[in-house]
Amino acid sequence: MPEAADRQPTYSLLGRVEGAEKLFLEGRRSRGADLESAVKIFLEFLHGFESFDFDQPCVTVFGSARFSEGHEYYELSRAMGAALAEAGYAVLTGGGPGLMQAANQGARETGGLSLGCNIRLPSEQQPNPYLDRFIEFEHFFVRKVMLVKYSSAFVVMPGGFGTMDEAFEVATLIQTGKLDRFPIVGMGGDFWTDLRKFARQTMLTKGVISEEDLTFVHPVNGVAEAMRFIQEPQH
């Protein structure tokens, strides 16, 4: 389990406000209120930068919070976390339960560095018990920056809106030249079949993406193939 100090992060100056992101996004407010939010956001970034200090390369694993231990996706994510740790990578996840926990568990069991960027939610998202170090965020967009900033590859496990959002965020950053062409692997087999079909038969056909864009997320059949793709030079 993380140390107590790690489990209770604090922010200086303005402190923490429950529901800060909802307040920030609720619409027009006074200039003073928006400036206060801007300072809180900056402090949240600063806390993240100060908390993550490690030397080895890092891989972020995205995935649903809703699959329990014993499910095939859970065991696949756990095996992926273990393989990454064995290869010398730190494993970074959203820090919550489900497939995030599975990847952290695999990394921890293999002796690797297990990291999490948790988000404060009314339900479903609590830090999992396999984290060596974690940061708890109030703002989703700050958390997403941290999940991308430290990683040189990304693994997309099956998931819902949050996982889709994170995967498309990384793909968009690569598409627009804001991020180097880091490996992105999609795991889970048939889970992604209809989405890939939609991308090729609708998005590509209608001209909203290019043929090259389809290659950003590389589908793999298992952990060994995923590791080969992550470790091979990208062009």
- CATH topology (fold) of 4-231: Rossmann fold (3.40.50)
Residue 95: partners with Cβ closer than 8 Å, 6 or more residues away: 104, 115, 116, 117, 118, 119, 127, 128, 131, 134, 135, 136
Number of H-type helices and E-type strands within the chain: 9, 7
Radius of gyration of the chain (CA): 18
Task: Give pLDDT tens digits along the chain (235 positions).
Answer: 444 334 434 443 445 556 788 878 888 889 998 888 889 899 999 998 988 889 999 999 999 999 999 999 999 999 999 999 999 999 999 999 999 999 999 999 999 999 999 987 766 567 899 999 999 998 999 999 999 999 999 999 999 999 999 999 999 999 999 999 999 999 999 999 999 999 999 999 999 999 999 999 999 999 999 999 999 876 5
Separation of alpha carbons 172 and 96, rounded Å: 24
Tell the burial category of 103 from Cβ atoms under 10 Å away from its Cβ (0-12, 13-18, 19+). Answer: buried
CB atoms within 10 A of CB 181: 12
Nearest CA to 16 out of 159, 165, 120, 151 is that of 120
